[in-house]
């Protein structure tokens, strides 16, 4: 039998849990499906240094556990399951969980996040969280007085490098596999990075991360025009792009995304996609960001959805 849901939240990262907290408090009785990564990206062992209220940092899994408990306290229904199919062509929306369970949802919040792209090197997995990361804002605290490499050549790489400078890194070097002329970053970003003292290694293609006996990263190996070289770095930030977890979108007609697959949303009601009644928030909209940004968007989405539910009710009365 098909289950009827008023507000269905897909995803259990900071955006999903925040949407659940605010939607519950607005008495919208949300049901949340957690997906294959309950707690989202932060459940990879990592210390969160930039979450207000935790002066000595908080572990990602602990933080997500607290958010989940808070959403539960307000009555959100948290369920295990992955959305494997969705037909959003008309309301109520038809959603399938794990290929079996069928749900009809009056409204939907897509909070499925995004993942940073990695280079796919075996050593990358080994050193992830041990000096190699894909989020300069998140790791900035650890850059102080360290030699930092940023791998990539786009605007995100420039931004990561400038963040590292601001965080007090001893040196910041962008490692890019092509030439200066090939770099996709806009000139203004590049010039700003140069002025702030960022150094550049051109035609330097990273092939391996190097570590010490304690399992900490100590540098990288790269192919260069002069042959294979090794460079010493204390911290390495990967800025080679990201991809949204918008599978739900891609299996769904009528939801507009940008060229990279990030969901496009409106300002009013906040977070509504091109399909009325379907909302989205967090990294699936805004590219890999920060916990606070994902929460801010999701809080606004919950307000937007409450306004929408009220408006729809008014129309049907």
Residues that bind ligand FAD (CB under 6 A): 10-16, 33-38, 40-42, 44, 46, 48-50, 82-83, 111-113, 133, 135, 138, 245, 247-248, 282-283, 288-292, 294
Nearer to ligand FAD, 185 or 245 (CB): 245
What minimum distance in Å lies between the beta carbon of 184 and ligand FAD? 22
DSSP for 131-152, written as a single string: TEES-HHHHGGGGTTSEEEEE-
**What's the rounded Cα separation, in Å, for the pair 50 and 79?**
29
Nearer to ligand FAD, 113 or 152 (CB): 113
Q: For this structure, is 283 an active site residue?
A: no
Q: Which of 47, 138, 159, 234 is catalytic?
A: 138
What minimum distance in Å lies between the beta carbon of 138 and ligand FAD? 3
Task: Enumerate helices (H) and strands (E) in the chain, giving the number of each.
Answer: 9, 19
Q: For this structure, is 139 an active site residue?
A: yes
Structure tokens at 149: 């490499």
Its sign, for the CA torsion 296, 298, 299, 305, is positive
What minimum distance in Å lies between the beta carbon of 11 and ligand FAD? 3
Nearer to ligand FAD, 185 or 301 (CB): 301
Its sign, for the CA torsion 156, 137, 129, 293, is negative
Structure tokens at 314: 């008014």
Q: Which of 87, 98, 135, 214 is catalytic?
A: 135
Structure tokens at 300: 């606004």
What minimum distance in Å lies between the beta carbon of 64 and ligand FAD? 8
What minimum distance in Å lies between the beta carbon of 228 and ligand FAD? 29
**C-alpha torsion angle, residues 157, 162, 163, 166 (rounded to 10):** 170
Q: Which of 56, 62, 77, 139 is catalytic?
A: 139
Nearer to ligand FAD, 142 or 200 (CB): 142
Which runs of consecutive H residues, i.e. helices, occur in 168-290? 187-195, 247-250, 283-286
Nearer to ligand FAD, 6 or 247 (CB): 247
Active site positions, annotated:
135, 138-139
């Amino acid at each position: 039998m098909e289950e009827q849901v008023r507000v269905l939240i897909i995803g259990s990262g900071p955006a999903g849990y925040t949407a659940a907290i605010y939607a519950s408090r607005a008495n919208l009785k949300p049901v949340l499906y957690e997906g294959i990564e309950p707690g989202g990206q932060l459940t990879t062992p990592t210390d969160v240094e930039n979450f207000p209220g935790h002066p000595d940092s908080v572990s990602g899994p602990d933080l997500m556990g607290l958010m989940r408990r808070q959403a539960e306290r307000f009555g959100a229904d948290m369920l295990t399951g992955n959305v494997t199919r969705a037909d959003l062509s008309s309301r109520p929306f038809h959603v399938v969980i794990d290929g079996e369970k069928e749900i009809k949802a009056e409204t939907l919040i897509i909070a499925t996040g995004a993942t940073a792209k990695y280079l796919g090197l075996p050593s990358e997995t080994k050193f992830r969280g041990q000096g190699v990361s894909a989020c300069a804002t998140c790791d900035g605290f650890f850059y102080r007085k360290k030699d930092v490499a940023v791998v990539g050549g786009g605007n995100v790489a420039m931004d990561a490098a400038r963040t590292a400078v601001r965080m007090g890194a001893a040196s910041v070097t962008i490692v890019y596999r092509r030439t200066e002329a090939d770099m996709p970053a806009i000139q203004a970003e590049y010039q700003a990075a140069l002025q702030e003292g960022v150094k550049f290694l051109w035609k330097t293609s990273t092939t391996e991360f190097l570590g010490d006996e304690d399992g900490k990263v100590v540098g990288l190996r790269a192919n260069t025009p002069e042959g294979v070289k090794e460079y010493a770095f204390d911290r390495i930030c990967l800025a080679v792009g990201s991809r949204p977890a918008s599978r739900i979108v891609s299996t769904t007609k009528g939801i507009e995304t940008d060229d990279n697959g990030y969901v496009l949303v409106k300002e009013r009601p906040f977070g509504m996609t091109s399909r009325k009644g379907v909302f989205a928030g967090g990294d699936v909209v805004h590219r890999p960001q920060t916990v606070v940004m994902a929460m801010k968007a999701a809080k606004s989405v919950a307000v937007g959805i409450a306004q929408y539910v009220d408006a729809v009710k008014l129309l049907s009365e």
